[in-house]
Amino acid sequence: MDQRTRTEKIFEKVQAAKLVKLSELSSEFGVSMPTIRKDIDELQRLGHVERVHGNVRLKTAQAEPAPKVPSASILPTSEEKAQIGRKAATLIANGDAVILDCGATTTELAKNLLDRQNLRIVTNALNIAILLGAEPTNRVMLTGGIFKAETIAVSGEKASTFFEGMFVDKLFLAAGGVAMESGISYPDFIDLHVKRAMIDAAKTVYLLADSKKFGKREFATFGAMDQIDYLITDEGLDAEFADWITGLGIKILYA
């Protein structure tokens, strides 16, 4: 089969399936991966398809631009949050099943997962669902609940029931504040239901909190420090808080 015939058949297959793995095409047509990539490059040049993360998908003239994610302009961030997000992302591999809490720091984490595939993600954050749902191999599950514009997320008892019967290996939990006398705290009591349900559904809990969160106490006290396995924070964490954290048996991962 010559290249022209093969590329025509590849295009027909992509038209029918919308998304096809390059490895499947290599096996089906009995040619090497470099040869398949050359065929796809030709189809891309003609504007018929686009290659993305080991797959080829149909590209139409009417394709709409990717939706703008509101997180960048609405959620406040910082270099410390970005560093924590990058560090946390190193703990997530292709194929992992994780819970991602809402917030600026977990959004930074999500931004560093755009090259991952086959993730199973459970989140209460709309912006994170949009970010990671753009990868066709990911399965994103978004909870229901009461919408909170300040975090671009949903919360409350409705959101918490979504986690019943669920189990994942890793939870990446956000915090409003962390204080010695009260543990973790959040701005609103309705946040506590979903945070508790997230913890119950996870084998390992990672708390993402920059050093400025320590010594800060928000309106609704959650406590829960005895349920945290790892803290991911920046190098600015005060030694007094670091000693307190390690004394609780929590391992600290510095970004």
pLDDT band at 163 (very low <50, low <70, confident <90, very high): very high
- Specify the amino acid at residue 109: L
What does the pLDDT read at residue 60? 61
Does 73 score more than 80 pLDDT?
no
At 64 the pLDDT is 47
Place of tokens 């005895």: 226
The pLDDT tens digits for 53-67 are 888 998 764 444 544
Helix axes of 22-29 and 33-45: crossing angle, nearest 10 degrees: 110
Structure tokens at 191: 């946040």
Domain with CATH 3.40.50.1360 in the chain: 71-254
For the full predicted model, state whether its pTM sits above 0.85: no
Indicate the average pLDDT of the chain: 89
* Rounded Cα gap, residues 56 and 62, in angstroms: 18
pLDDT digit string (tens) for 2-52?
777 888 888 888 888 888 999 999 898 899 998 988 888 888 888 888 888
pLDDT band at residue 244 under the 50/70/90 scheme: very high
Q: Could you tell me which CATH class the domain 3-58 is placed in?
A: mainly alpha
User: In the prediction, which pLDDT does 240 show?
Assistant: 96
CB 76 within 8 A of CB 108: no
| Domain span(s) for CATH 1.10.10.10 in the chain | 3-58
Q: How far apart are CA 204 and CA 98, in angstroms?
A: 10
Q: Determine which helix (DSSP H) or strand (DSSP E) holds 97, and give its type and residue range.
A: strand 97-100
Q: Tell me the fold of 71-254.
A: Rossmann fold (3.40.50)
How far is residue 15 from each of residues 8, 57, 60, measured CA to CA in Å? 11, 8, 10
Going by pLDDT thresholds of 50, 70 and 90, the confidence category of residue 113 is very high
